[in-house]
Amino acid sequence: MIKRTLYFGNPAYLKTSNEQLVIEMQDSGEVRTAPIEDIGLLILDHQQITITQALMAKLLANNVAFITCDATHHPAGMFLNLDGHTLQSQKFQAQIEASVPLKKQLWQQTVTAKILNQAALLKLQREENKFLTELAKDVKSGDSENTEAQAAVYYWKKVFPDFLEFKRERHGNPPNNLLNYGYAILRAVVARSLVGSGLLPTLGIFHRNQYNAYCLADDIMEPYRPFVDKAVCEIIRMNGKFLELGPTMKKQLLGVPAMDVLLGGQKSPLMNAVQRTTASLAKCFEGKSRKILYPEFT
């Protein structure tokens, strides 16, 4: 069963009772409940939301990733469980001791999967993708020739309509805002699954920024990014140039964890696929496998 993504964008008081999340809506006085064990991702997007420490503890104990947003409604922080697996210390050790050649092979697989998914999305958009499919064949160990960047230059010129004159910049013009929001949701899903697989999200196989607490999440989410891009393409198709991030667009992006993907020949929701990806990564670190399972478009 796929875990639920819950979003709160209005004043509310959140507490817990009998292993339930209890939501008291401040405007209407309405009270709702949801089983904590069914929740995978919780997003708090209002400055007048109050959450009890008891609820926070139960959410973390159930490996719920929850995101807090700032006054501009952009994700500002993420909370994760510190004790996500029964064999956590053993898995931490295997991750820490992973050899450089292994990490280079894993990054090669990651970049190849990302480029192939970018190519698949261009095909869905009826754009030429042969350059990317050929480029994916040439990714070297550790992506020593920076094939990922070459693919990105081509991909971003093709994936969105010409009238947007799009340039991928974190603080650039729309739809950069939509991409940022979708990637933040994806990052939380991946980080949650890494913790559930007994891995440290901080220790990446490629990303090494000393100020980034989620380097491994940023590595593993790369082949999943095109699924967020697909959701953004659908928003653009319906809204044209009018791309200010509002409730309707947020709702569409919050559906990313439930998107269907193909993994190992099986169709499953993206959130479930991420869990299989991180579990396969843990096996690679432990020497039980040499291949990470990554998704494809259905």
Q: With H, G, I as helix, E, B as strand and everything else as coil, classify residue 90.
A: helix
CA 121/CA 230 separation, integer angstroms: 7
Which tokens go with 255? 């559906």
Asked if residue 220 has pLDDT above 90, the reply is: yes
Asked if residue 71 has pLDDT above 90, the reply is: no
Query: Which amino acid is it at 66?
Result: F
CA 166/CA 20 separation, integer angstroms: 44
145 is in an annotated binding site: no
The model's pTM: 0.89
CATH number for domain 88-285, candidates 1.20.120.920, 3.40.50.1220, 3.90.180.10, 3.30.2290.10: 1.20.120.920
The pLDDT assigned to 87 comes to 65
The pLDDT assigned to 196 comes to 87
Which tokens go with 235? 């928003």
- The domain segmentation of the chain, as residue ranges, is 4-79, 88-285
Read off the pLDDT of residues 226-245 as tens digits, 9 standing for 90 and up: 999 999 999 999 999 999 99
222 is in an annotated binding site: yes
∠ CA 51-57-61, rounded to 5°: 135
Q: How confident is the model at residue 69 (pLDDT cuts 50, 70, 90)?
A: confident
The CATH class of 4-79 is: alpha beta
Q: For residue 11, how many C-alpha atoms fall within 13 Å in the half-sphere facing its CB?
A: 5
Residue of higher predicted confidence among 74 and 48: 48
The mean of the pLDDT values for the chain is 92
The pLDDT assigned to 86 comes to 58
DSSP class per residue in 139-160:
PPGGGTT-HHHHHHHHHHHHSS
- Residues forming a β-bridge with 41: 5, 65
Read off the pLDDT of residues 187-198 as tens digits, 9 standing for 90 and up: 999 999 998 898
